[in-house]
Amino acid sequence: MRSVATGLILKRKLADFFYTCSRRRVLGRFSSSSFGTVDPRKSNGRGGGEKEVPHLPVLIVGAGPVGLILSILLTKLGVKCSVLEKSVVFSRHPQAHFINNRTMELFRKLDGLAEEIQSLEPPVDLWRRFIYCTSLSGPVFGSVDHMKPQDFDKTVSPISVAHFSQYKLMNLLLQRLEKLGFSVCSPSEIEGSIWDRKILMGHECISIHPTNEGLKVGTSYLKEGKMEEREFHCSILVGSDGARSTVRKLVDIDMKGERNLQRLVSVHFLSKDLGQYLLHERPGMLFFIFNPDAIGVLVAHDLDQGEFVLQIPYYSPQQKIEDFSFKDTFNLIQVCEQIILKLVGWKLVDVQVLDIKPWVMHAEVAEKYVSHNNRVILVGDAAHRFPPAGGFGMNTGIQDAHNLAWKISSMLSGIASPSIIQTYEMERRPIAIYNTSLSVENFRAAMSVPAALGLDPAIANSVHRVINSSLCSILPPSLQKFALEGIFSIGRAQLSELILNENNPLGSLRLSRLKKIFDEGKSLQLQFPAEDLGFCYKEGALVAECGEKIWESEASSVHKRDLKPYIPCAKPGCRLPHMLINALKESSAKASFSTLDLISGDKIEFLLIIAPIKGSYRLARASMMVAKEFDVPLKVCIIWPKGSSDKNVNSSEKELEPWKNFIDVEEAVKPTSKSWWELCQMSSNEVILVRPDEHIAWRTESNSIADDLLELKRVFSLMLGHGKFLL
Ligand SMILES: Cc1cc2nc3c(=O)[nH]c(=O)nc-3n(C[C@H](O)[C@H](O)[C@H](O)COP(=O)(O)OP(=O)(O)OC[C@H]3O[C@@H](n4cnc5c(N)ncnc54)[C@H](O)[C@@H]3O)c2cc1C
């Protein structure tokens, strides 16, 4: 029988052999066949095609929030890219406004974007509530506060959620892109030889063809009244072109889920008078208004500036968008003003309608996120579209971009294999599927309020289906519309004060049902801490301990909306938990910072977190050695218990010799708080390896490994997609 030592040497030799082969194969594959003969790392932004076609390592289609964030992240990580945008101007329709905790954490790393949003957003007391009422000046059924004390105490995150309109966010993103050297160009402005760092307005992506060198992307644009076409070559094309994604259709990816949950008209308007009234009388973010004349949801984007969006349900084909938006400006304002008047409860004299936009609510996720040999990738609404209930749409898209950026950068710089792009789909698609069903549950919860008032939307939809049925479709459209509106107005009569009062037995029953919904937290919620900070990847660029599974399969929870708190967790796939720490050996005046700040947003760098104990130092030395072999930047962080600054902490330098890229920190916790290891539910001889996107890739007991170097080669190989490691 072979000795254990001989067995291990043999394993290591096999592993070395496999690793060298797989790395050669991977790099060879990257620079030849599937990735073409053009090496995007050497691209100068010109040539590369059969004729003089601009070549870009990454071309992004769609300059919405997700496309812009991706271009910032890629540029910071050294990847050349440009963005195609079919519109000639950026939309000013506010749409998204709730920025969740995880997105704000990512924004902290974009040159102070989070702090700038906090300085510009309305004060939290003006938007922390959802208000349910008969009109903005009429009786209030309920008022729900969505902020908790822990949202402000920075225990689970260094930052809180925000309320900031999408178009204002876009402006801040464009400012950051300008600082990174981007320019926004109209079709007539873009002749020239430099193609990267451009936002090419008025360019619609119309075709995608694989070539030997990557992808040829066709665009059309209007120049001097004539449609013209321009081609681009790229190694990677990212479709961030929204819910009706052309990229998705061009590469034949289907969506799966529920369609047409609800049709709505979104009216963007200004009224300083309304803003000032609500600011003083009943400040809130969302106002759900139900009365016999109209039903709608008013989103207060900014009370001080009097900026609002009104969402009104509409039923096609009987109701048409033209019913709300006549071409004639006078009529357009009149129709909207009438609806606003019915919901507000008094005549506002300063309403200025800016825009009217129909939209349809779907709950769908793309069947694939990646196609064409890892070259075409979907992000944001192009990959998933959910009901906005809970504000997950843009947030999920921005977090897609964050997951993808370091993977593209690692692949293009040769650190990772092209297959790492597959891990983007493995990690992000399940999150979108989960967030879709959570948003549908939220949407249904929002509908529980009108249902309790006797206005069951399911009944409204059934009535609509009957009117659309073959039986009624023989009626002239005007009669169908009349019938529909007649039935709806009878339904809305349930909301009259005659019925809805404590003295009326039916009204009193409905009001008590409503109170129960609010008291039990069963109405629409704004915050989902367990999903916001606690979402976790189950498979992807993650490594389980040898022979083990990271996650045992769990029975999926039936009720996703059961409000669960965020519980810090340091298993592979989870976001690195936040804790305040102080750097040791730095000036004592230096402020505490978050463990999340140990990861740089400006470069690819992995992080190994250890306690100051022998076995973990040994593993850290081996990690540094293997990282060097893999050309992977790695930093080690040694977390010391609170009070270590008083002692002479100098063992790390000796223990980690000759490696210099390490930092000693101490916990900045209150005496009653948990230590880092307790917070992460780990023993102090465990170590964790954190990826550039702040998610944990691997965790192990430092004293349980037989051969540190062999184990670390396995870890880096698997995490970076260099094939299955032979053991
Ligand atoms: C009423 C409402 C409220 C919402 N509230 C929230 C919220 O509070 N929080 C939240 O997280 N989300 C919210 N959302 C969702 C959020 O608005 C979207 O998820 C977000 O806009 C998606 O961003 P995106 O960049 O993926 O796509 P988009 O914003 O749709 O941008 C796509 C861009 O691609 C361009 N484009 C399309 N086709 C092409 C083409 N062929 N060639 C070139 N360019 C193209 C489009 O012109 C557009 O500029 C809300 C949505 C609605 C409707």
Report the 3 state secondary structure along 633-681: CEEEEEEECCCHHHCCCCHHHHHHCCCCCEEEEEECCCCCCCCHHHHCC
Taking only the tens place, the pLDDT of each residue in 407-434 is: 999 999 999 999 999 999 999 999 999 9
Nearest to 194 by CA among 295, 89, 82, 360: 82
Ligand 1: distance of its center to the CA of 683 in Å?
44
SS3 assignment, position 668:
coil
> 652: part of which helix (H) or strand (E)?
helix 651-656
Find out whether the beta carbon of 204 lies less than 6 Å from any atom of ligand 1. Answer: yes
* Peptide bond between residue 658 and the one before it cis (omega within 30 degrees of 0): yes
Nearest to 100 by CA among 695, 580, 576, 535: 535
Taking only the tens place, the pLDDT of each residue in 370-412 is: 999 999 999 999 999 999 998 999 999 999 999 999 999 999 9
**What amino acid is encoded at 485 in this protein?**
E
- State yes or no: pLDDT of 364 exceeds 80: yes
CA geometry: angle 286, 291, 297, nearest 5 deg: 20
Q: How confident is the model at residue 46 (pLDDT cuts 50, 70, 90)?
A: very low
- Looking at residue 467, its pLDDT comes to 60
Ligand 1: distance of its center to the CA of 396 in Å?
11
Mean pLDDT over each residue of the chain, to the nearest integer = 86
Find out whether the beta carbon of 236 lies less than 6 Å from any atom of ligand 1. Answer: no
pTM of the entire structure?
0.90
Ligand 1: distance of its center to the CA of 211 in Å?
30
- State yes or no: pLDDT of 558 exceeds 80: no
The separation between CA 449 and the C-alpha centre of its own chain, rounded to angstroms, equals: 28
CA geometry: angle 254, 718, 397, nearest 5 deg: 35
Nearest to 233 by CA among 418, 35, 421, 59: 59
Ligand 1: distance of its center to the CA of 565 in Å?
29
The number of the ligand 1 atom at minimal distance from the alpha carbon of 247 is 41
> 695: which DSSP letter?
B
Q: Whose CA is nearest to atom 50 of ligand 1?
A: 96
- State yes or no: pLDDT of 201 exceeds 50: yes
CA geometry: angle 696, 701, 706, nearest 5 deg: 120
Residues 399 and 106: beta-carbon distance below 8 Å = yes
- State yes or no: pLDDT of 29 exceeds 70: no
Nearest to 433 by CA among 384, 494, 483, 373: 384
- Looking at residue 166, its pLDDT comes to 98
Find out whether the beta carbon of 705 lies less than 6 Å from any atom of ligand 1. Answer: no
The span from the CA of 515 to the CA of 84, in Å, is 50
* Peptide bond between residue 418 and the one before it cis (omega within 30 degrees of 0): no
Ligand 1: distance of its center to the CA of 14 in Å?
49
Ligand 1: distance of its center to the CA of 508 in Å?
42
Find out whether the beta carbon of 246 lies less than 6 Å from any atom of ligand 1. Answer: yes
Find out whether the beta carbon of 62 lies less than 6 Å from any atom of ligand 1. Answer: yes
